[in-house]
């Protein structure tokens, strides 16, 4: 039996018809040369449905205590594989617009809690001999990094490599997982406990960071931009409906890296600045740019080699997107400063301490969401998540991986989510939004490109 962590359970508690709490991805492939499409798709479906032993959580459903509250994962003895692995088709020749519309419809529906919390759809009918794989898994079962590792279990850098192994199988997990360290002995645990008790190192570090967070929250002159505080209300800060829009685009990794180098920042700083610039343009076009800066919650992966693969290992920071500044270089610098401040808060913490710190500092947003006040007191304007992916060209049984477009969750108070993956020589952005709150979602892709050009001009690259 694998128990749910408090964070995992939180995603279940926060879920409603309007706010599905699953994460997913749309993977775009090109067929190998000289293969029969029907036969190739049939082989892939057979592989996906092949496990006799399922890895967590794909062969497991939610287990409940005597009060009916989900507390753990338990094996599903009657798993219906055809329910979870499905075959879809677009009318040929399917364009990306139709593919993204289909992915949005698939992503907006809730997963059945009486079954294992995942689905996969193989989609054919795309132009230029392409096909897609859409998958979604409940956030209680996996985080972004875990999802990428799952996808990579079927990928190879060799276009001639072939595998009959399903990514959902226990065999695939055992073959790709990192070797775990032996658990500590009772004597080692006791020695570490005594040392912590004597030094109060864990408590002090978390306490000092919480004090800094609270000081910035209560005292504006502290100027710690990563603290949770009131975020300006925009069209992104509304209560959301259950309908979704999804758009995606790839950007050159070299372009983003050149800006980061020229402005003395990181790849992530540049991504945040791109998103901030895009949001500024979008709001200006709607005549609703606020005087105060928008903010973004930015997840921080805490996954270690010994992590079991199911559940979440993630912390969070809040970045200042500096959307009130017209100068792209000044916006970049303000965003970089806010992220550096956040990193300094977490610098000396262990992953477990960061997780604890994140849970405590995110209590106000969670409480506001639970009370249904996210549209009146938005905890942040958006979520921007940058997840590392494969750095070499990848293939699935000879099919070239052309794009990995992540699809995440939105909530009342933040109706728009940016998630991106590094994929070979490109960064693949997936943007998911409430269909009603962000009606012109497609424009954000153009605004991202314009924001990157602005940064290139400011950096002189």
Neighbours of 211 (CB within 10 A): 10
Tell me if residue 307 is catalytic. no
Among residues 22, 121, 139, 412, the one annotated as catalytic is 139
Strand order through the sheet with 395-396: 85-94, 118-126, 130-138, 22-30, 399-407, 395-396
Distance, CA of 365 to CA of 357 (rounded, Å): 14
Residue 236 in contact with residue 251, Cβ under 8 Å? Answer: no
Give me the active site residues, please.
139
């Amino acid at each position: 039996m694998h128990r749910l962590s408090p964070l995992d359970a939180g995603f279940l508690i926060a879920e409603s018809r309007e706010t599905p709490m699953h994460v997913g991805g749309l993977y775009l492939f090109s067929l190998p040369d000289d293969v029969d499409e029907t036969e190739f798709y049939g082989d892939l479906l057979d592989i996906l449905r092949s496990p006799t032993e399922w890895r967590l959580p794909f062969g497991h459903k939610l287990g409940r205590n005597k009060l009916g509250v989900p507390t753990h994962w338990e094996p599903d003895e009657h798993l219906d594989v055809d329910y979870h692995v499905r075959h879809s088709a677009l009318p040929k020749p399917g364009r990306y617009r139709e593919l993204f519309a289909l992915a949005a419809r698939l992503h907006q529906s809730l997963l059945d809690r009486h079954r294992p919390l995942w689905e996969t759809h193989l989609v054919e009918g795309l132009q230029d001999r392409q096909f897609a794989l859409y998958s979604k898994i409940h956030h209680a079962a996996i985080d972004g990094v875990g999802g990428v590792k799952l996808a990579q279990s079927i990928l190879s850098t060799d276009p001639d490599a072939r595998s009959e192994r399903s990514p959902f199988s226990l065999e695939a997990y055992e073959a790709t997982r990192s070797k775990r360290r032996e658990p500590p002995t009772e004597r080692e645990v006791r020695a570490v406990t005594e040392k912590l008790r004597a030094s109060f190192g864990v408590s002090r570090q978390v306490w000092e960071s919480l004090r800094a967070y609270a000081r910035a929250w209560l005292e504006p002159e502290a100027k710690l931009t990563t603290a949770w505080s009131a975020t300006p209300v925009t069209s992104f800060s509304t209560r959301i409906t259950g309908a979704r829009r999804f758009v995606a685009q790839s950007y050159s990794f070299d372009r983003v890296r050149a800006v980061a180098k020229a402005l003395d920042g990181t790849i992530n700083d540049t991504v945040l600045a791109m998103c901030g610039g895009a949001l500024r343009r979008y709001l200006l076009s709607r005549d609703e740019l606020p005087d105060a800066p928008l903010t973004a919650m930015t997840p921080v992966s805490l996954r270690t080699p010994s992590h079991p693969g199911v559940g979440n290992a993630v912390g969070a920071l809040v970045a200042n997107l500096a959307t009130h500044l017209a100068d792209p270089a000044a916006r970049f610098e303000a965003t970089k400063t806010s992220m550096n401040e956040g990193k300094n808060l977490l610098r000396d913490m262990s992953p477990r301490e960061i997780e604890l710190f994140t849970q405590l500092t995110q209590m106000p947003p969670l409480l506001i969401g639970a009370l249904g006040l996210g549209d009146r007191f938005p905890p942040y304007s958006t979520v921007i998540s940058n997840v590392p992916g494969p750095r070499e060209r990848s293939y699935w049984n000879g099919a070239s991986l052309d794009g990995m477009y992540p699809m995440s969750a939105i909530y009342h108070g933040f109706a728009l989510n940016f998630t991106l993956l590094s994929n070979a020589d490109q960064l693949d952005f997936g943007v998911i939004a409430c269909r009603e709150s962000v009606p012109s979602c497609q424009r954000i892709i153009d605004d991202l490109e314009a924001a990157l050009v602005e940064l290139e001009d400011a950096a002189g690259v």
